[in-house]
Structures are given as C-alpha cells and as structure tokens.
C-alpha cells in the first residue's frame, strides 16, 4: 500500500538521506502496532542528525514520529496529544482510513504528496 506524505515539521532533525530512505524502502507493520500507532520496521533506520528529545509538542493523526531506534511510528486514531520525538513527515488525514484493516506484516511504502494546485 502506498501512502502520501508531506515532509516535516521536524525533518531537519535527520541526516540528509533520511527522507529519501523513508520514501525508497518497504516498511513492515510490526506486532507492536495498535490504535495509538502503527509501529513500522524498515531495513535501514532513519538516522537523526541531532540527539535527544524535543520539548513536548502537539501531535496529529498521521504524524510519522521517529524514536531513537530510527523505526517510525505512524500515529493513528488514539494517538497521544503530545510527543517528544521528531516527526519526519505527516500522512494526510484523508488517507488514514485506509489503514484501519492493515494487518501485522503488511508492507507500506511512502511517496511525497503531490503539490496542491
């Protein structure tokens, strides 16, 4: 399944190739996924250029938050209101309903969202 993403708001917290890595590899839905977030595993983790956590800031459904492991978590319906890990990209909310029945082990791919007209 392909999902569009809009880069940011914290893509500057990652090494130069991290966004390309997000868009160019398969991401497997792991058994640790739930209504809060879909935990994903990729062959190459998303490497940060900065260490530590951000001060807590608001989160949204569709945010791809990246903990120190480099394996992203895609926030879903019951996502937390705040988070302290950087968000490399956001899946537009209109595409999130497609994830409701995605099983563990499914493969997701991300692509840059087309620019609005």
Q: How far apart are CA 57 and CA 37, in angstroms?
A: 17
Q: Provide the token pair at 93.
A: 């909310």
List, in order of start, the domains of the chain with CATH numbers.
2-46+54-110 (2.40.100.10)
Q: Looking at the chain, how many residues does it have?
A: 117
Model pLDDT, residue 46: 97
pLDDT value at 49 more than 80: yes
Encode pLDDT of 20-46 as tens digits: 999 999 999 999 999 999 999 999 999
Cβ atoms within 10 Å of 61's Cβ, excluding its own: 16
pLDDT, greater one: 82 or 40: 40
How far lies 12's CA from each of 9, 17, 43, 47, 48, in Å? Answer: 8, 11, 22, 11, 9
Model pLDDT, residue 74: 98
DSSP 9-76: SSGGGB-TTHHHHHHHS-EEEPTT--SSEEEEE-SS---BSS-S-PPPEE--TTEEE--TTS--EEE-
Q: What average pLDDT does the segment 92-110 reach?
A: 93
What 3-state class would DSSP assign to 98?
helix
Q: How confident is the model at residue 116 (pLDDT cuts 50, 70, 90)?
A: low
pTM of the model: 0.92
Classify the C-alpha dihedral 69-75-78-80 as positive or negative.
Answer: positive
């Amino acid at each position: 399944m392909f999902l569009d993403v809009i880069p940011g708001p914290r893509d500057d917290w990652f090494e130069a190739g991290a966004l390309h890595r997000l868009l160019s590899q398969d991401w497997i839905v792991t058994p640790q996924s739930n209504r809060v977030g879909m935990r994903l595993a990729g062959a190459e983790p998303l490497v940060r250029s900065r260490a530590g956590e951000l001060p807590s800031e608001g989160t949204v459904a569709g945010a791809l938050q990246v903990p120190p492991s480099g394996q992203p978590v895609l926030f879903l319906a019951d996502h937390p209101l705040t988070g302290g890990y950087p968000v490399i990209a956001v899946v537009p909310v209109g595409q999130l309903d497609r994830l409701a029945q995605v099983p563990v082990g499914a493969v997701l791919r991300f692509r840059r969202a087309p620019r609005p007209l």
